[in-house]
A and B are shown apart, each in its own frame.
Chain A
Amino acid sequence: QKEVEQNSGPLSVPEGAIASLNCTYSDRGSQSFFWYRQYSGKSPELIMSIYSNGDKEDGRFTAQLNKASQYVSLLIRDSQPSDSATYLCAVNPFGNEKLTFGTGTRLTIIP
């Protein structure tokens, strides 16, 4: 079992709709969770961090964390063509200063 799993996609969402991206992780002691956006040919860009159970909202982005079920999700409301990118989920395992990355979900917003 991979430590951090994401559906590779591609996930296609109409413009203006809600895009939902999911990630599961195996280390139950993980403490910190991150979502990165990576445009083609560019480097990963941190867009959300979440550390406790529940929802965290930042503009059109909402991160959701459920430690009991070991999943973290990212919702993008009012999706725009500029949201088309690969989204990487990253997890900070317990007692570790490194991050473990998923392989990413490719999101395409259809105008």
Chain B
Amino acid sequence: DAEITQSPRHKITETGRQVTLACHQTWNHNNMFWYRQDLGHGLRLIHYSYGVQDTNKGEVSDGYSVSRSNTEDLPLTLESAASSQTSVYFCASSDPGTGYEQYFGPGTRLTVT
């Protein structure tokens, strides 16, 4: 069955370190998205991609970057982790052929100390 996976599921890191969160989908979807979810803010879009070599900034992109070298993967990198980036991170994917329904990965809980 097609699925979307994220790793690691939990991560503790120190302020200033570079961190990469992985997202892998086997839906063969063109579109992939990264969100963070914090109490009181709901889901906020960090970065998104509509295909290989395409990346775009979302509403809270400062301090984050992504790259898309193939259809299946969209890794999210925190360049220099800050305590404000402590959050739960979700990856999602969608395809125009399915009405833009987004399917979510299980999430990564990141703590920056």
Contact = CB atoms under 8 A, between A and B. Distances in A.
Contacts, number: 45
Nearest to A103: B42
Given A44-B43, A88-B42, A104-B42, A99 B104 contact: no
A101 B42 contact: yes
A99 B98 CA distance: 13
A102 B61 CA distance: 19
Interface stretch (A21-29, A53-61, A70-78, A90-98): A90-98
Contacts of B101: 32, 34, 46, 49
B102 to A, nearest CB: 6
A49 B99 contact: yes
Interface string B40-83: 11110100101000000000000000000000000000000000
A43 B43 CA distance: 11
Contacts of A92: 99-100
Contact of B106 (A34, A43, A99, A102): A43
Contacts of A99: 94, 100, 102
Max chain A C-beta neighbours (<10 A), residue from B102, B105, B107: B102
Given A97-B94, A98-B33, A103-B41, A45 B104 contact: yes
Contacts of B102: 34, 46, 90, 99
Contacts of B107: 42-43
